[in-house]
Amino acid sequence: MCGRVVQASPPDILSLQIVEGRGDPSGDRFRNTPPRYNGAPTQELWVIRQNPATGERSLELLRWGLIPSSSPEKPKKPLINAAAELLTHRAEFAPAYARRRCIVPIDGFYEWKPVEGEKIKQPFCVAMRDGSPFGLAGLWENWKDPATGEWIRTFCVVTTRANAVVRPIHSRMPAILKPADFRRWLGTEEDPRDLLGPFPAEEMIAWPVSTRVNSVKNDDRSLVEQHPEADGTWPRDGNSA
């Protein structure tokens, strides 16, 4: 499960050094987009796509919550995640997986861990140990609203089995792409499923944060700070898991 992300770095950093041509992050639309420390479904977030005809890659704002292009109406609950194991088996995902893959560049993501005897789960922020942004495997779609005629571009995040850092918190995690695999994921190969395994744990770290992240109304830098009253065994990285 992946339901909240951090996209706080400037767009030129979130372009992950693979955006070029007309999609190069410059201009007012990039400068005027605020950083997000609590990016959530239904919001517009930065996504890297590749033009299948020209191979040109661009950084664009798409709405989080996939609406399949074949959907006759806007679903009440858009698809925010797609399990890697089901991409070729579910009609909602198969067309986008074969032809419309994208990368969701982020600085971190949140997962929630049940706490014994407590009703409220403890949120954790998960990121790279060196603080660098990274790319999640995603799918995108173009859907036309039959009521308004408006075209809406949406995306979802592909998930996979948790690695040793995330496993104590949640059984699933977003499928993180290695930089060397970015171009292949965006390319024309129909089934690059070997790219979707758990990311190496030794390169990652997780730490508990405030439950303020539970509300999408809260969106500021303090959300990613370690919660001072948390269990002292955190932060945890792949070398200590």
> CA-based angle 112:117:119, to the nearest 5?
50
Catalytic residue among 20, 56, 102, 111: 111
- Taking the C-alpha atoms of residue 152 and residue 210, their distance in angstroms, rounded to an integer, is 33
Tell me if residue 125 is catalytic.
no
Tell me if residue 102 is catalytic.
no
SS3 string, the chain, reads CCCCEEECCCHHHHCCCCCCHHHCCCCHHHHCCCCEEEECCCCEEEEEEECCCCCCEEEEEEEECECCCCCCCCCCCCECEEEHHHCCCCCCCHHHHHHCEEEEEECEEEEEECCCCCCCCEEEEEEECCCCCEEEEEEEEEEECCCCCCEEEEEEEEEEECCCCCCCCCCEEECEECHHHHHHHHCCCCCCHHHCCCCCHHHEEEEECCHHHHCCCCCCHHHHCCCCCCCCCCCEECCCC
Could you list the active site residues? 2, 111
